[in-house]
A and B are shown apart, each in its own frame.
Chain A
Amino acid sequence: MVGVIFAQRHSIARQFFPGLRTGRVRVAHSKDLRLARLFGWYPSLLWLCALLCVALYFSFLHDAVERIAYLYAVVPGGLDQQPWYKCGHLEPGKQTTVIPDAVLRDFSSPTEYKIEIVCWVEQTGATESSRQYKYQVRLPSEGSVQAILSGAPSSSIPYEFPMALFFSWFVCMRVSGVRIDWAQGLSSRRAGTF
């Protein structure tokens, strides 16, 4: 990313400092000056976008942790007693279901975490496809979150694509917004100013 920006430095320079120097003043066309004023805000825009990407990344990360807890939680009994099955077969209009005794385990952690799952159905239209199954997981401690983060199988991580997308966007925008010290050093070294 830094290399691409450095390779484009001449075009960027024309955007930042348009026009020609004549004597002690610089003259530029009004359109170029207008563009330069707008381009001056570009680094700030990158920083704002980077912050937005971080916020979205953590939002998806929290949703992924909650979803893993929901899918991996078990309760004593058969298949029809499991939280994901019970919540997935709720009837519309039925009261919110609370599963207070679900247990989270099998994350390479000797500790078992008791979690509470609340689920309900939202019907936005008359058709069955408009039925939305919602759930909320109450995790007991930060330890349970860390167990999920470190022990969840990588192939089962939900929202992997948006998380990867926002994280890589953040890195790109962050790199674009920071000082490009190595590029400056490289140029100075080539010019023999060291």
Chain B
Amino acid sequence: MTGLRDYLQGELGLSDADLIIRAPIASQKEKYDLAHAPGLYGIVEYSPDAPNLIPNLLGPFCANHERDIFPLAVDGASGKVTAWKHIKKEANKIEETICPIQVQLTVGELDRTFRESAEVVTARGYAKSLHPPLPDDTKA
């Protein structure tokens, strides 16, 4: 495996100096509020200087408990979620707690607003970037 690492490094055109002096830097994490869903937020991990790095989304989380939310009760007529819950998994035990957050959205609407709100944040970040990506930014 040690030989394979050297071989792959050569194939990617990375020198030892690249790995030592210019070690990879972590993309930035930013919390953002979800539009039309007060009390819920998400975390987007992206790099303003590297638009080709696919952003990593985490959430949505409830701001009260800082935990993932799941539907507890759904209105049969509109499909909107009327109550939310948290799920905690521990060893062989699954614990569910009711979250008092009041968000009237369907599961699809929540997913859409979660992604669209993230896109707003990343677009703002890319626009502000002082270092526009160079032509070779698609290389690994």
Contacts and interface: CB of A to CB of B under 8 A. Distances in A.
Chains A and B bind each other? yes
Interface of A: 5-6, 9, 12-14, 16-31, 33, 36, 42-43, 46, 176-181, 183-184, 187
Closest 7 CB pairs of A and B: A179-B3, A43-B1, A22-B50, A26-B24, A27-B47, A22-B137, A13-B8
Q: How large is the interface on B (under 10, 10 to 19, 20 to 34, 35 or more residues)?
A: 20 to 34
A43 B140 CA distance: 22
Contact of A16 (B5, B18, B47): B5
Given A27-B27, A29-B26, 18 more contacts: A5-B4, A6-B4, A13-B140, A17-B12, A17-B14, A20-B53, A21-B139, A22-B50, A23-B134, A23-B137, A26-B24, A27-B25, A27-B47, A27-B53, A28-B27, A179-B2, A179-B3, A184-B3
Contacts of B68: none
A177 B4 CA distance: 9
A27 B138 CA distance: 11
Nearest to B58: A31
B137 A20 contact: yes
Interface string B18-36: 1000101111010000000
Contacts of A25: 22, 24-25, 49
Contacts of A9: 4, 7-8
Interface string B50-82: 101100100000000000000000000000000
A20 B4 contact: no
Contacts of B11: 13, 187
B9 interface: yes
Given A27-B53, A176-B1, A21 B137 contact: yes
A29 B9 contact: no
B140 A20 contact: yes
B136 interface: yes
A168 B129 CA distance: 54
B27 A22 contact: no
Contact of A27 (B7, B12, B49): B49
